Amino acid sequence: MKAGVIGAGAWGTALAQLLAADGQEVRLWAREPDVVDAINRDHVNPLYLPGVPLSASIVSTDAMADMADREMLLVVSPAQHLRSVVAQAPAGVPLVLCSKGIEAGTSLLMSEVAAQAQPTSPIAVLSGPTFAAEVARGLPTAITLACADGDLAARIAQRIARPAFRPYLSDDVIGAEIGGAVKNVLAIACGVTEGAGLGLNARAALISRGFAEMTRFGLARGARVETLAGLSGLGDLVLTCSSTNSRNFSLGKGLGEGRPAAELLANRRTVAEGAFTAPVLRAAARAAGVEMPVTEAVCALLEDVAPLAQVIDALLARPLRPE
């Protein structure tokens, strides 16, 4: 399948590098002319994936018309911009959605947004524990590829699989998306434990209780529990809650150190999706009658409505309950 990638941030660039590993041409759409020039001229993306020499088979463009002959398009924009970039994409081409989040204003998952923006395009979701820099370096990685159409999923899997990049197939698109969206919010919470020096017990508690939240919310939205317990859910939760290589964890660490959210979020070039997903997730959970206390706590810190100590105390003081 002739492949295109829409979005040349860290993850889009790493995925283009992966797809180009067998020498096939990969088109990479970037918003920034500087990024297009650097990729085509020097085979690097210093803005978003510095230090990684890129394949000469990657051809970058800022013209969406150049994607017209592609047989599959990986969409790798920030979640809040997915609707606008998908609307510009050629119609009818299979879309592999790689963004992790929930759309503000509509509470729609990315597959639901894409279906509205390009109603004739088949949709798959690619999501899992995948730091872009590690994938770009060829380090071993496994990921969930979810698609309702098993034949299309198999063709996409053949195109993206590499000796060190292993997709696992699923037909639970919603489940794969919910794991990727919710884990970003929980990673902020785990980063807080690091920044505030709360210890590793607290982090493990948040991963476990956060996973319970993810599962409750996912089941309410029709996800399957085995998807949530797989690579795109628990797998990505563990990765993103473990290291400052995660932008979401780093944001939480800053909050835990007592820095205001507004300062941490101002003038960011790279995206910490959890900051955008958290309020949408809270609203969707409340509307569905699903309790998500960790998500509520993250929102309180992002909105700066209560001091850190008070937010932590409130989480710990919740009524005792069965696990």
Ligand X SMILES: NC(=O)c1ccc[n+]([C@@H]2O[C@H](COP(=O)([O-])OP(=O)(O)OC[C@H]3O[C@@H](n4cnc5c(N)ncnc54)[C@H](O)[C@@H]3O)[C@@H](O)[C@H]2O)c1
Q: How far is CA 200 from CA 41, 122, 139, 190, 240, in A?
A: 46, 43, 26, 9, 15
Amino acid 287 reads: A
Least Cα distance to 100 among 88, 113, 109, 112 occurs for 109
CA distance 307 to 260: 10
Whether the Cβ atoms of residue 164 and residue 139 lie closer than 8 Å to each other:
yes
Residue with smaller CB distance to ligand G3P, 33 or 140: 140
Residue 9 among known ligand-binding residues: yes
- From ligand G3P, ligand X, none, interface partner of 240 (C-beta below 5 to 8 A by class): ligand G3P
Contact pattern for ligand G3P over residues 185 through 214, marking x by CB under 6 A: --x---------------------------
Residue 233 among known ligand-binding residues: no
Rg (C-alpha) for the chain, rounded Å, is 19
CB of 321 to ligand G3P, least distance (A): 29
CA distance 310 to 117: 42
Backbone dihedral angles phi then psi of residue 47, each to the nearest 5 degrees: -75, -40
Q: Which region among 72-80, 198-206, 215-223, 244-252 touches ligand G3P (by CB under 6 A)?
A: 244-252
Contact pattern for ligand X over residues 28 through 57, marking x by CB under 6 A: ---xx---------------x---------
Dihedral over alpha carbons 197, 185, 288, 217 (to 10 degrees) = -90
Binding residue for ligand G3P, selected from 129, 179, 191, 210, defined by CB under 6 A: 129
CA distance 137 to 135: 5
| Sign of the alpha-carbon torsion through 105, 284, 262, 85 | negative
- Closest residue to ligand X, Cβ-based? 9
Backbone dihedral angles phi then psi of residue 19, each to the nearest 5 degrees: -70, -25
**Chain residues 131-190 in contact with ligand G3P, contact rule CB under 6 A:** 131, 184, 187
Residue with smaller CB distance to ligand X, 31 or 159: 31
Q: Catalytic residue at 2?
A: no
Binding residue for ligand G3P, selected from 232, 240, 277, 295, defined by CB under 6 A: 240
Contact pattern for ligand X over residues 113 through 152, marking x by CB under 6 A: -----------------xxx--------------------
Query: What residues make contact with ligand X under the rule CB under 6 A?
Result: 7-12, 31-32, 48, 76-79, 81, 85, 98-101, 130-132, 270-271, 273
